[in-house]
Amino acid sequence: MQETVKLIVGDQTIELPVIVGTEGERAIDITKLRDQTGMITYDPSLGNTGVCRSEITFIDGEKGILRYRGIPIEQFADHPNFVEVAWMLIFGRLPKPDELARFSSLLTANELLHEGLKHQFDHIPPDAPPMAILSATLNNLSFYHEQFLSPQDEESFELAAARLISKVRTIAAFSYRRSLGLPFIYPDPNLRYCANFLHMMFSIPFQQYIVTPEIEDALNLVFVLHADHEQNCSTSTVRTVGSARANLFASCAAGVCALWGPLHGGANVEVIDMLERIHQGGMSPEDCIRAAKDKSNPFRLFGFGHRVYKNYDPRAKLLKASCDKVLAKLRRQDPLLDIARKLEEAALNDPYFVERKLYPNVDFYSGILLRAMGIPTNMFTVCFAIGRLPGWIAQWREQHVDASTRILRPRQVYTGPAESPYVPMEDR
């Protein structure tokens, strides 16, 4: 029996169907609302509005639950394998050994950039923002590769996905090398995904960077934990651009631009800047908390709060634990980790944060872990993008294979001037 809700509009009572999700989430289907009542709904940041059905990621924000294709995120933590998770997010199930091997081969076969694209880096200023380089260069992949417009068949889609997921790593590493005036280090086909990225970042000619298992695992974990997060700002951007049937490169390049924002993926940079300021005595943790609570102050406690999580972000828990593990293995202390812990404790015991259910999110500890690997702060959001790319690709594909998908085109409530005549210049 289809569940419905009644809506009374003037002297009209209409019934609207209720959609029920796998975990019992319920949504009022308003797709016929305007036809039936002439009215629209109003939900500016879409905080109460579902824009799609999706089978990829489930989040229970109240309980702090995150699952990829039904698998709790914690179950990837002991043996994080980003390539395996990427394939699973895109194709809907864990890959069989031969499927994973094939996808890994495709990643290796597509790790190089076209030399023409590589030469574009020669004209990029050394201090160019890496996220600007990343979004531009992802878009420019369509100079050298056919525009991927729709997932006609799995094979061509798998190649398009491998091309993007492999080359994003090379683009990121090349932008880092460019920023330091260092020679580009080409990808090594004998290295696994994360090891190859770190090799391209940190090897120097005739002195190969050798990754330790702990660092390789930690980077796999960072990428796995960033791989998808349902309809966040950047994923919604990818879906919006993709709904116009723009190609996959352009859609993901748009996602990079949205992710760059300090309220979104750019927060991992802001967190480190905030912790550094405390470390250098610029401000105390108490000053931070005070500033974050001061409505007249634009300062926010970066790495805290979330539109969906009203509990501890499960990714933050895993990243925090990995920080401890990696720093212990490296026999290194990071004062910023101690400061982060103090800040977390102060915030979690402050009524302002407790009342608003503000907890650490994925960005609060990720930067400390990336620092431990030697990755510079200005590359943190790029690393977030490398991790999130499979999620964007999976969501883009899911939208394209859904025959009911239409171009995303929200409505508005117009509050501008009523009809008024044009006034010639001489009469103004």
The yes or no reply on residue 242 touching ligand SDX (CB under 6 A) is no
- Catalytic-role residue among 228, 306, 334, 350: 306
Tell me the two tokens of residue 423: 């006034």
Residue among 66, 171, 252, 292 that touches ligand SDX (CB under 6 A)? 292
CB burial string 95-104: b at 16+ within 10 A, e below: beeebbebbb
Instruction: Count how many residues are written for the chain.
Output: 428
Using CB atoms, what's the residue nearest to ligand SDX? 305
Q: Are 201 and 375 in contact (CB under 8 A)?
A: yes
Of the candidates 336, 346, 356, 341, the residue with the CA atom closest to the CA atom of residue 290? 346
* Only segment of 258-266, 328-336, 395-403, 417-425 that touches ligand SDX (CB under 6 A): 258-266
Q: What is the nearest approach in angstroms of ligand SDX to the Cβ of residue 388?
A: 7
The yes or no reply on residue 46 touching ligand SDX (CB under 6 A) is no
Q: How far apart are CA 250 and CA 329, in angstroms?
A: 40
Q: What is the nearest approach in angstroms of ligand SDX to the Cβ of residue 282?
A: 18
For 171-195, give the DSSP string: HHHHHHHHHHTPPP----TTS-HHH
Q: What is the nearest approach in angstroms of ligand SDX to the Cβ of residue 226?
A: 7
* Only segment of 194-202, 257-265, 274-282, 404-412 that touches ligand SDX (CB under 6 A): 257-265
Among residues 193 and 304, whose Cβ is nearest to ligand SDX?
304
Task: Tell me the CA distances in angstroms from 200 to 5, 46, 177, 186, 209, one per residue in order.
Answer: 56, 40, 8, 6, 8
Q: What is the nearest approach in angstroms of ligand SDX to the Cβ of residue 223?
A: 13
The yes or no reply on residue 263 touching ligand SDX (CB under 6 A) is yes
Q: What is the nearest approach in angstroms of ligand SDX to the Cβ of residue 290?
A: 11
The yes or no reply on residue 300 touching ligand SDX (CB under 6 A) is yes
Q: Is 306 a catalytic residue?
A: yes
- The burial class, CB within 10 Å (0-12 / 13-18 / 19+), for 129 is middle
Spatial neighbors of 201 by CB under 8 A, at least 6 apart, are: 172, 173, 176, 177, 185, 209, 374, 375
Which DSSP letter does residue 379 get? G
Amino acid (one-letter) located at 274: M
Among residues 308 and 346, whose Cβ is nearest to ligand SDX?
308
Which DSSP letter does residue 6 get? E
Tell me the two tokens of residue 143: 């100079």
Residue among 255, 305, 314, 390 that touches ligand SDX (CB under 6 A)? 305
Site string for ligand SDX, 58-87 (x = CB under 6 A): ------------------------------
Q: What is the nearest approach in angstroms of ligand SDX to the Cβ of residue 302?
A: 5
CB count within 10 Å of CB 308 equals 17
Residue among 104, 220, 232, 399 that touches ligand SDX (CB under 6 A)? 232
The yes or no reply on residue 106 touching ligand SDX (CB under 6 A) is no
- Catalytic-role residue among 334, 350, 363, 400: 363
Q: Are 312 and 305 in contact (CB under 8 A)?
A: no
Among residues 125 and 298, whose Cβ is nearest to ligand SDX?
298
* Only segment of 5-13, 163-171, 259-267, 276-284 that touches ligand SDX (CB under 6 A): 259-267
The yes or no reply on residue 318 touching ligand SDX (CB under 6 A) is no
Main-chain phi, psi angles of 83, to 5 degrees: -65, -40
* Only segment of 138-146, 208-216, 295-303, 413-421 that touches ligand SDX (CB under 6 A): 295-303
Tell me the two tokens of residue 257: 């631009």
Site string for ligand SDX, 335-374 (x = CB under 6 A): ---------------------x-x--xxx-----------
Of the candidates 81, 75, 25, 67, the residue with the CA atom closest to the CA atom of residue 50? 25
Q: What is the nearest approach in angstroms of ligand SDX to the Cβ of residue 305?
A: 2
Residue among 264, 290, 317, 329 that touches ligand SDX (CB under 6 A)? 264
For 394-422, give the DSSP string: HHHHHHHH-TT-----------S--S---
Q: Is 60 a catalytic residue?
A: no
Q: Are 372 and 218 in contact (CB under 8 A)?
A: yes
The yes or no reply on residue 303 touching ligand SDX (CB under 6 A) is yes
Q: What is the nearest approach in angstroms of ligand SDX to the Cβ of residue 60?
A: 13
Which of the residues are catalytic? 306, 363
User: Which residues contact ligand SDX by CB under 6 A?
Assistant: 229, 232, 263-265, 267, 292, 300-308, 356, 358, 361-363
